[in-house]
Amino acid sequence: MFRQNLRVDTFKHQLAALVGVSLLMAVYPFGRQINLTTPWGKNPPVERVTVPLDERHSSIHNAQPLKLAPNEPPSTCSRIPTRFQGQTIHGVQLPGYQKAIALTFDDGPWPNNTSTVLGILQQHHVKATFFVLGSNVAQYPHLLQQIATAGHAVGNHSWSHGYQDHSFELALTEIQQTTDIVEKYTGRKTVLFRPPGGFLDNGLVAQASIQKMVTVLWTIDDTYEGSVDLAVQNVIQNATSGGIVLMHDGGGNRDLMIEALPFVISELKKQDYQLVTIPQLLSLTETRVRSEDTINCKPHDHLN
């Protein structure tokens, strides 16, 4: 009887061990994937807002992947001229008769900020370009879809906004996962990339170039502190045709920029600037493209 009980106890222990190993094997790939997309090293502190899990789950549930019709040809609004593929630009040189500038927003999508910016842009009939973080899209895909549905262009800003040096594999993961999730929720594969912090030599830009993406920097940086008047003055005084304005809708407190945005738009329009997306701006460098062709685009034509 003792031996029989011993055999039973031994079998129970073996079964428990087998179950434990199976659970570890199931969890391990997910932990490994997270490690690949987590930045190494120390980054500057970024203010983040904690969002309840039920809100995140609700946003993910409400956002459905989008698919476009097969073989849909690119329009003037989303097509990138071949000569820019794999290149890094700060701004572009436009023909003398063109006067255009591009507003761009980084670090979103983010609750409250992104929706507020979209409302201002809609009120002023302006299209812009949003360089999104893949990790934020994963939390708030419905906000990305709001950006895309409104007719704005979408660019890749990496998955986790890391500044440190990236191995080939990590750089590939950071860019490819973001490209994939943008395509999942917009139906478009973006070919625009903006490196976090503007760093050009940490492996991300090299990977973007391999993938023939356009690395987009800027000619004007938004003001993080001071007054609304100074923020507006910073943009207006440095505005040039073919320029690119860097602004933010995520990554911290952006109240100053958001408050200044309507005045920035109004002042630029007073100076006869056309406010365009990055794909539109690049298209305007081709002399055969008329400015009115890049302005009168249907919303989904902007989903880059």
- Could you tell me if residue 224 is inside a domain? yes
Q: What is the CATH number of the domain that holds 104?
A: 3.20.20.370
Answer for the pair 162, 40: CB distance below 8 angstroms, yes or no: yes
**CA distance to 22, 35, 159, 240, per residue, from 27 (Å):** 9, 13, 22, 53
Q: Does the pLDDT of residue 37 top 60, yes or no?
A: no
Q: What is the pLDDT of residue 172?
A: 98
- Could you tell me if residue 29 is inside a domain? no
- Could you tell me if residue 65 is inside a domain? no
Q: Does the pLDDT of residue 28 top 90, yes or no?
A: no
Q: What is the pLDDT of residue 225?
A: 81
Q: What is the pLDDT of residue 11?
A: 43
pLDDT band at 75 (very low <50, low <70, confident <90, very high): very low
Q: In which domain, by residue range, is 88 found?
A: 84-302
Q: Is the dihedral of CA 292, 293, 294, 296 positive or negative?
A: positive
Beta strand spans in 189-231 (E): 192-193, 214-216, 220-221
- Could you tell me if residue 201 is inside a domain? yes
pLDDT band at 293 (very low <50, low <70, confident <90, very high): low
Span 250-261, average pLDDT? 94
Q: What is the pLDDT of residue 79?
A: 80
- Distance CA(213)–CA(235), nearest Å, equals 27
- Could you tell me if residue 273 is inside a domain? yes
- The pLDDT tens digits for 148-163 are 999 999 999 999 999 9
- Could you tell me if residue 32 is inside a domain? no
- Distance CA(255)–CA(278), nearest Å, equals 24
- Could you tell me if residue 110 is inside a domain? yes
Which helix (H) or strand (E) segment holds residue 105: the answer is strand 100-108
pLDDT band at 64 (very low <50, low <70, confident <90, very high): low
The mean predicted confidence, pLDDT, of the chain is 79
DSSP string, 81-95: PGGGTT-EES--PPP
pTM recorded for the entire structure:
0.75
How many distinct structural domains can be found in the chain? Answer: 1
- The pLDDT tens digits for 169-198 are 999 999 999 999 999 999 999 999 999 999
* Active-site annotation, residues: 106, 248
- Distance CA(91)–CA(276), nearest Å, equals 13
- Could you tell me if residue 12 is inside a domain? no
